A = this chain, B = another copy of it.
Amino acid sequence: MPKILIVDDDPHIREVLRFALEKDGFSVGEAANGAQALERHAAERPDLIVLDILMPEMDGTEVCRRLRRDHATPIVFLSSRDDEVDRILGLELGGDDYVTKPFSPRELVARVRAVLRRGTSAVTEGDSPVLTHGRLRLDAERFKVWWAETEVTLTVTEFGILRTLLRRPGKVYSREELIGAAYDFHNVVSDRTVDSHVRRLRAKLAAAGADPVETVHGVGYKLGNC
């Protein structure tokens, strides 16, 4: 019966999350700010923390940094605004997953379960054969991609990049990460190359009426809402 610590300054959110998590059999603790979070973490030793990023005084990133000094407790971030989380995710914080508001409690519980299932390790990819995000669908086994009903034909590299983006929609991937995910040899290609592939990927998706790949200036690319 894993124990979850909810950290958010909004009592309403805490309430909703507590309800959802308890219904699923988790035992739940709460904290309303960063200082309280560290305190409760020390006292209750939760198996996972649900952590809001935007909080007065000590925000989520700072809590995360302090926790990471001594602990590997998995963290699922809550982000208020979509573009806000972008920067943070670029910075290799030790977060394990990320949910942007507004989100369904059901989704959060699913993420929490997933993180716990794959163990403490921060960066493990759930290699499901079919990935979906909005109208975008990718079948890694059959090597095919659809936007709504129309199939989009991609090359290997384009496919690799999209698959990576799709594993964590919204997360901003640096060019280096994208290269690493698509090739065995990381040290071979220049990162300008990623631009080229993203360009053609975008072109093909655009031809199908989609435009889900977004640029995050100074960091990399991410999959936006579809």
Q: Identify the closest chain B residue to A189 (Cβ).
A: B156
How many Å lie between the Cα of A188 and that of B154 in the bound state? 11
Copies of this polypeptide in the complex: 2
Question: Interface residues of A toward B: which range?
Answer: 10 to 19
Which of A141, A156, A160, A185 is the most central at the interface, judged by chain B CB atoms within 10 Å of its CB? A185
How many Å lie between the Cα of A187 and that of B144 in the bound state? 12
For residue A184, CB closer than 8 A to chain B, the reply is yes
Contacts of A187 in B (CB 8 A): 141, 143
For residue A55, CB closer than 8 A to chain B, the reply is no
How many Å lie between the Cα of A225 and that of B185 in the bound state? 27
Contacts of A160 in B (CB 8 A): 184-185
How many Å lie between the Cα of A182 and that of B188 in the bound state? 13
A156-B185, A183-B184 given; name 11 further pairs at CB < 8 Å: A141-B187, A143-B185, A143-B187, A143-B188, A156-B183, A156-B188, A159-B185, A160-B184, A160-B185, A182-B184, A184-B184
Nearest first, the 9 A-B pairs at minimum CB distance are: A156-B188, A156-B185, A143-B187, A143-B188, A160-B184, A184-B184, A182-B184, A143-B185, A160-B185
Interface residues of A (CB under 8 A from B): 141, 143, 156, 159-160, 182-185, 187-188
